[in-house]
Amino acid sequence: MTANVKPSGLLGQILVLVLLGALFGFAANVAQDADFGPVVDGPKAATGEDLDSILATSTADGASAETKSLPMLEPQKVDFMTVMAKMFGQPRVTMIDARDPGTYENGHIQGAINLDGEELTQDPNFGGEVLNGIPKDQVLLVYCSGGDCDLSIRVARILLARGFSHVYVYEGGYSEWHQEGAPTSRGNNP
């Protein structure tokens, strides 16, 4: 005699819920490993082609031309070689030192302006006098001390939220720049 046992009632519902939970858990793990959209952990590395196409939108007199690229959702990382080869000294690039004014005055990347990142992260309206004269499509390169300093990333995200469309982070920061013997300045002028 064989009994035909079908899961029913409460036991059947529990079994269905367990199977659905396992299925959703598996799908979440797969989705977490895939690259679906903006980065939440930190900025991605910029490719040379991305930067070339953005910088190529300058006119002959150095003025900004209308860019056709979409605004960034997250700042992108650039390394020392990219900064030196493609960004340093370019009229289309504004370098922003996110360290405090005293540290900036003791030494900064030549041509960089100071925007105190700690003040900016505490007061989102801070920095208007510095930022008001910068076009929203200007390429911004933000740096801090380098190494474990994440201030440049936080400032870059605020700048994106304020409507700047091309924001990059130089993670090596001032320490790497100085160590490489690249041009620096002292005082409160860029």
What is the DSSP code (8-state) at residue 73?
S
Q: Name the residue range of residue 49's domain.
A: 44-185
Yes or no: say if 105 and 186 are a contact pair by the CB < 8 Å rule: yes
Name the domain count of the chain.
1
Residue 3 domain flag:
no
Q: Which two tokens stand for residue 37?
A: 């959209």
pLDDT tens digits for 57-104? 544 444 444 444 555 678 999 999 999 999 999 999 999 999 999 999
* Residue 60 backbone dihedrals phi, psi, to 5 degrees: -60, -35
Assigned domain for 157 exists: yes
CATH code for the domain of 102: 3.40.250.10
Instruction: Give the whole-angstrom CA distance, residue 122 versus residue 96.
Output: 18
Whole-structure pTM value: 0.66
Give me the residues of the chain with pLDDT under 50, please: 34-42, 44-45, 58-68
Determine contact, residues 111/95, Cβ cutoff 8 Å: yes
Domain for residue 125, yes or no?
yes
Q: Is residue 17 part of a domain?
A: no
pLDDT recorded at residue 148: 87
Catalytic residues: 144
Residue 123 forms part of a structural domain: yes
Does a structural domain hold residue 100? Answer: yes
